C-alpha cells in the first residue's frame, strides 16, 4: 500500500534537500546535483516514455543508455545529450561500475530480463529502478531484493500510478471517508494485443499474459486503493488458444480478492479489448476512475454516480514519471526506502502466482 504519511515526508524532504543534507556523508556526494540514470532497453517504454521525462525532473538526469543496437543508441544519445562514454551494450554492461555519473539503473527490458539486469546493476554498485511486473516469478523477485540489499543499494519498482494525481486524490478521498466505509473494489484493465510475435505474448519473456502486463494495474490498485493486503484469491481464465496471439499466454482472467476488512475486490484483465477502469464502492458513495491509470486523460468522479467530476490537485511531480524518477533519487539522497520498493513488486507477483494457480486448479487460494 501507499503510505501517505511516508510519501508526504519524502516529498517534503525532497524540496528541502539542500538545507537538510548538510553534514550527512551519504548525501555529501549527491546533494545539490541531479542523480544520473542509465536506461537499460530502448524499447517502446524506455525510449518512448521514460527518456523524454528527464526534462520534467528536478532531481534526476539521463546520463547513460544500454542497448543492443549501437546505431540506435548513438542516435538517442545525441538527441538527449548523453556522452559517448555513457553508451553501453549488454556485453559491457557491467563496466557501468566504473562510471560515477551513473547512480541509478532503470531496467526497461522484457520481464524475463528484469532479474538479471537488476542483480548485475546492484553488483555494479548502482541503485535500481525496475519496471513492473517486477519479474517472472516471486523467486526471482526475492533474488533481486537480496542482491540490492547485499550491495546496500535501493530497489524501486516502476509503479507510476503511485505518483499519478487522480490516483492519489482517489486514495485521499477514500481515506478521508468521502464514500463512507469501503465495501467493494473493482477494476478492469485491458488492451488489444496485436502482433503475435511481440515479446509480451511469449511466455518465456513475459512470464504470463494480460495479468502480468496490464492486470498488474488492477491488482496493484486494489491494494493501494483499499490500503489492505488480500488474504485469498479466486480466478477464472478464458483464452482462445486458436488465436495466434494466445498460443502461450492468457487473454482474459477474472480474479476476486478477499481483504481482511471484508472488502471484496473484483478485477479483470484482458488482451482482447481496451478497458481501463477503477471503482471504489463505499456505503455512502463511490469513487470512479475511467480511464484510471492511463498515461494521460485520466478522469475521476466522486459521489453517488458520475455527476460530480473531480479535478485533482497537482501530483508530486510535473508528470507521474518525473515524480517517480525523482522519488528514487530523493530516497537515495535521504536514505529512505522508496514507497514502492522491491517488496511491493514481490507482493504483487506472489498474488499473481496465486491467481494463476487458482485459475489452473479452479479453487480458492489462501495467501500466506
Give contact residues for a copy of itself (rule: CB under 8 A).
180, 183-184, 186, 188, 192, 234, 236, 238-240, 252, 254, 256, 258, 262-264, 266, 268, 270, 272-275, 281-286, 290, 304-305, 362-364
Judged by beta carbon, residue 40 or residue 281, the one nearer a copy of itself is: 281
- DSSP label at residue 48: I
Catalytic residue among 106, 217, 271, 356: 217
Among positive and negative, which fits the CA dihedral 355, 361, 365, 367?
Answer: negative
> Which of residues 138 and 275 has its CB atom nearest to a copy of itself in the complex?
275
Nearer to a copy of itself, 53 or 210 (CB): 210
Q: What share of the chain is helix, strand, coil (3-state, %, to 5)?
A: 45, 20, 35
Residue 98 or 283: which CB sits closer to a copy of itself?
283
Contact, 334 vs 27, CB < 8 A?
A: yes
Cα distance between residue 309 and residue 307, in whole Å = 6
143 in Cβ contact with 346 (< 8 Å):
no
Question: Is 247 part of the annotated catalytic residue set?
Answer: no
In angstroms, the Cα distances linking 52 to 48, 57, 75, 120, 184 are 7, 10, 14, 25, 37
Which three-class secondary structure state does DSSP give residue 40?
A: strand
CB of 275 to a copy of itself, least distance (A): 6
Asked if 111 contacts 212 with a C-beta cutoff of 8 angstroms, the reply is: yes
Active-site position among 34, 61, 126, 132? 132
Site of grid cell 507510476:
160
Taking the complex as a whole, how short is the minimal distance between the CB of residue 185 and a copy of itself, in angstroms? 10
Annotate 296-309 with b (16+ C-beta within 10 A) or e (fewer).
eebbbbbbeeeeee
Cell of 110: 522484457
> Is-catalytic flag, 37?
no
- The Cα–Cα gap between 73 and 302 comes to 45
- Looking at the Cβ atoms of 84 and 305, the one nearer to a copy of itself is 305
**Phi and psi, residue 267, nearest 5°:** -130, 150
Tell me which residues are annotated as active site.
132, 217
Amino acid at each position: 500500500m501507499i503510505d501517505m504519511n511516508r510519501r508526504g515526508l519524502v516529498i517534503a524532504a525532497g524540496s528541502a534537500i539542500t538545507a537538510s543534507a548538510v553534514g550527512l556523508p551519504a548525501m555529501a556526494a549527491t546533494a545539490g546535483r541531479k542523480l544520473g540514470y542509465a536506461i537499460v532497453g530502448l524499447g517502446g517504454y524506455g525510449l518512448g516514455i521514460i527518456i523524454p521525462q528527464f526534462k520534467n525532473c528536478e532531481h534526476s538526469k539521463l546520463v547513460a543508455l544500454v542497448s543492443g543496437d549501437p546505431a540506435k543508441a548513438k542516435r538517442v544519445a545525441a538527441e538527449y545529450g548523453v556522452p559517448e562514454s555513457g553508451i553501453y551494450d549488454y556485453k559491457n554492461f557491467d563496466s557501468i561500475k566504473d562510471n560515477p555519473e551513473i547512480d541509478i539503473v532503470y531496467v526497461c527490458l522484457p520481464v524475463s530480463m528484469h532479474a538479471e539486469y537488476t542483480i548485475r546493476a546492484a553488483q555494479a554498485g548502482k541503485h535500481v529502478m525496475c519496471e513492473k511486473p517486477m519479474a517472472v516469478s516471486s523467486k526471482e523477485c526475492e533474488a533481486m531484493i537480496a542482491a540490492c540489499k547485499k550491495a546496500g543499494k535501493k530497489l524501486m519498482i516502476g509503479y507510476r500510478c503511485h505518483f499519478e494525481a487522480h490516483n492519489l486524490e482517489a486514495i485521499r478521498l477514500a481515506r478521508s471517508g468521502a464514500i463512507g466505509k469501503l465495501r467493494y473494489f473493482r477494476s478492469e484493465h485491458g488492451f488489444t494485443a496485436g502482433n503475435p510475435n511481440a515479446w509480451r505474448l511469449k511466455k518465456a519473456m513475459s512470464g504470463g499474459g494480460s495479468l502480468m502486463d496490464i492486470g498488474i494495474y488492477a491488482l496493484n490498485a486494489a491494494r493501494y486503493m483499499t490500503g489492505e493486503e488480500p488474504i485469498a484469491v479466486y480466478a477464472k481464465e478464458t483464452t482462445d488458444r486458436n488465436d495466434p496471439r494466445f498460443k502461450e499466454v492468457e487473454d482474459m482472467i477474472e480474479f476476486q480478492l478477499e481483504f481482511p476488512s471484508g472488502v471484496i475486490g473484483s478485477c479483470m484483465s484482458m488482451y482482447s479489448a481496451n478497458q481501463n477502469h477503477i471503482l471504489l464502492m463505499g456505503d455512502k458513495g463511490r469513487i470512479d476512475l475511467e480511464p484510471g491509470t492511463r498515461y494521460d486523460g485520466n478522469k475521476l468522479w466522486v459521489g453517488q454516480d458520475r455527476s460530480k467530476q473531480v479535478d485533482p490537485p497537482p501530483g508530486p511531480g510535473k508528470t507521474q514519471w518525473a515524480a517517480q524518477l525523482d522519488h528514487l533519487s530523493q530516497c537515495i539522497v535521504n536514505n529512505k526506502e522508496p514507497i514502492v520498493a522491491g517488496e511491493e513488486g514481490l507482493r504483487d507477483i506472489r498474488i499473481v502466482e496465486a491467481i494463476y494457480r487458482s485459475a489452473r486448479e479452479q479453487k480458492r487460494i489462501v495467501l500466506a
